[in-house]
């Protein structure tokens, strides 16, 4: 494999990278505006009968509901991604995630339609999660399967860069609408970020409709080498890859929500910062992530995926307690620095090389199914419950954050151990199939 798109040049490779990034931008714009809304407004609009602390807990629980649907979406769409191709599935997931997000912006509050309001909210959240379960994995695989062998980390980084851009857009839009008077913000202002998502859907759809299938899948289809049940084959032949992916997700996924999303609630509700200040801090931190993701990804092309990924997880373990000390300083610049360091070094250092690493862990016939399903199982265990558990720990500890910091340390050490146990893959041949039932051990 030459790693280039068949019959196309640099412009086509750039289109592949951009199309990969825009879908992830939409997915994570959608998820982060939901997480932000859960932190600042859903407890008031959809759970007004509860006290503020309990309402916030329940709002974050609805955030976690979306993660329950993600493995199911990964299993469903991953199956068809390995059976009929990457491109068609990516179009379907884009429409599902974007459509559900757009409709959330129209859900009336509890005062208008009663219990139907939170029910509709949860329903659309489930649809979001079902589509998102395969959107990111498919976007990553599409880019990496087109990439030159020595630049898979760089090409894979376009999807996590899209995630950063989506988070940045979500934080920026919410920062703007949060400047509205409280009454206007609660009545219609919070809805604007959800409606804006339809623009990203249109751009992403245009790009993806004009792309060809990946060379890896095209070759498998030409050889008639497509499996009937790819996920079953993946579980039988590459169990180690599943365990590594799930463990590697603990710190990256959970801290990716705790640092930029849950911290908004902690800064505004517990430390007395304004909502605008908290959102601006998240926006700056996300800029740091956007800049650093390609840096860590390119480094992983040079020295390997494991040193970069494991090193970032270890940084998060060491930085958890200092992070909260810095947040309690009362200084906005110090808060911004703490969040930028946590996200730009810790989260980005894991998230950047992860794209290529997870793609390389699975053989081409099971790649979409294995990647999407294993990654989203990790989401259920890590990112889904993280904001809820952090809020619960904060209440349990009487408002002090040290139990939350301990939780972050445990998450980071699980990921550190999982990545060290996994194989190094940055020089592997992604066209090659693992051989035999012990295939997952052969890349060590």
Q: What is the pLDDT of residue 225?
A: 64
DSSP string computed for 298-364: HHHHHH-HHHHHHHHHHHHHHHHHHHHHHHTT--HHHHHHHHHHIIIIIIHHHHHHHHHHHHHHS-T
Which range of 106-110, 290-294, 368-372 scores highest in mean pLDDT? It is: 290-294
The stretches of 106-214 forming alpha helices (DSSP H) are: 110-113, 116-144, 152-156, 158-177, 182-187, 192-209
> What percentage of the chain exceeds 70 in pLDDT?
90
Average pLDDT, the chain: 84
| Nearest by Cα to 259 from 228, 284, 231 | 284
Q: What is the pLDDT of residue 54?
A: 65
Q: Domains in the chain, start-ordered, CATH in brackets?
A: 10-441 (1.20.1250.20)
How far is 77 from 68, CA to CA, in rounded Å? 15
| Nearest by Cα to 375 from 152, 121, 77, 155 | 77
Q: What is the pTM of this model?
A: 0.82
Q: What is the pLDDT of residue 322?
A: 96
Region 352-356: what's the mean pLDDT?
A: 94
- The helix-helix angle for 348-361 and 275-303 (nearest 10°) equals 50
Cβ distance 253 to 382 under 8 Å? yes
Q: What is the pLDDT of residue 438?
A: 42
Q: What φ, ψ does residue 364 adopt, rounded to 5°?
A: -65, -30
Which range of 59-63, 125-129, 252-256 scores highest in mean pLDDT? It is: 252-256
**CB neighbour burial string for 51-81, b if at least 16 within 10 angstroms, e if fewer:** eeeebbbbbbbbbbbbbbbbbbbbbbbbbbb
| pLDDT at 67 exceeding the cut of 90 | no
Region 369-376: what's the mean pLDDT?
A: 88
Angle subtended at Cα 332 by Cα 296 and Cα 163, rounded to the nearest 5 degrees = 35
Cβ distance 73 to 130 under 8 Å? yes
pLDDT-derived band at 201, boundaries 50, 70, 90: confident
Region 88-112: what's the mean pLDDT?
A: 87
Beta strands in 22-69 (DSSP E): none
pLDDT-derived band at 8, boundaries 50, 70, 90: very low
pLDDT-derived band at 248, boundaries 50, 70, 90: very high
| pLDDT at 407 exceeding the cut of 90 | yes
Q: What is the pLDDT of residue 442?
A: 37
How far is 111 from 124, CA to CA, in rounded Å? 19
Q: What is the pLDDT of residues 316-350, one digit of tens each?
A: 999 999 999 999 998 889 999 999 999 999 999 99
The CA-to-CA distance between both ends of the chain, in Å, stands at 22
Q: What is the pLDDT of residues 27-41, one digit of tens each?
A: 778 877 887 787 677
> What percentage of the chain exceeds 90 in pLDDT?
29
């Amino acid at each position: 494999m030459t790693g280039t798109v068949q019959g196309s040049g640099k412009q086509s490779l750039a289109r592949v990278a951009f199309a990969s990034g825009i879908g992830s931008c939409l997915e994570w714009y959608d998820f982060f505006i939901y997480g932000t809304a859960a932190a600042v407004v859903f407890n008031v609009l959809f759970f007004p009968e509860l006290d503020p602390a309990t309402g916030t807990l329940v709002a974050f629980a609805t955030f976690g509901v979306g993660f329950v649907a993600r493995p199911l979406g990964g299993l469903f769409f991953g199956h068809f991604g390995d059976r009929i191709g990457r491109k068609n599935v990516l179009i379907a997931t884009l429409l599902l995630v974007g459509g559900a997000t757009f409709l959330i912006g129209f859900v009336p509050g509890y005062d208008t339609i009663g219990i139907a309001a939170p029910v509709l909210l949860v329903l659309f959240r489930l649809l979001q999660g079902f589509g998102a379960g395969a959107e990111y994995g498919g976007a990553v695989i599409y880019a990496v399967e087109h990439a030159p062998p020595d630049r898979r980390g760089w090409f894979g980084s376009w999807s996590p860069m899209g995630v950063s851009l989506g988070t940045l857009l979500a934080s920026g839009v919410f920062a703007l609408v949060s400047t509205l008077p409280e009454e206007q913000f609660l009545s219609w202002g919070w809805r604007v970020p959800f409606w804006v998502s339809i623009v990203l859907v249109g751009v992403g759809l245009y790009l993806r409709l004009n792309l060809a299938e990946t060379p890896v899948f095209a070759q498998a289809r030409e050889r008639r080498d497509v499996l009937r049940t790819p996920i079953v084959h993946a579980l039988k032949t590459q169990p180690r890859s599943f365990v590594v992916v799930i463990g590697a997700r603990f710190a990256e996924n959970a801290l990716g929500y705790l640092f930029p999303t849950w911290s908004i609630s902690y800064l505004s509700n517990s430390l007395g910062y304004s909502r605008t200040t908290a959102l601006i801090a998240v926006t700056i931190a996300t800029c740091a992530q956007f800049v650093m993701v390609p840096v860590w990804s390119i480094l992983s092309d040079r020295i390997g995926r494991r040193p970069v990924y494991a090193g970032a997880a270890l940084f998060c373990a060491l930085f958890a307690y200092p992070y909260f000390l810095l947040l309690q300083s009362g200084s906005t610049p110090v808060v911004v620095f703490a969040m930028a360091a946590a996200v730009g070094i810790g989260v980005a250092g894991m998230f950047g090389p992860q794209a290529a690493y997870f793609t390389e862990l699975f053989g081409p016939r099971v790649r979409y199914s294995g990647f999407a399903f294993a990654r989203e199982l990790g989401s259920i265990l890590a990112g889904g419950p993280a904001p809820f558990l952090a809020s619960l720990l904060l209440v349990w500890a009487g408002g002090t954050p040290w139990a939350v910091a301990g939780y972050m340390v445990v998450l980071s050490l699980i990921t550190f151990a999982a990545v060290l146990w996994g194989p190094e893959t940055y020089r592997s041949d992604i066209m090659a199939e693992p051989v035999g039932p012990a295939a997952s051990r052969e890349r060590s």
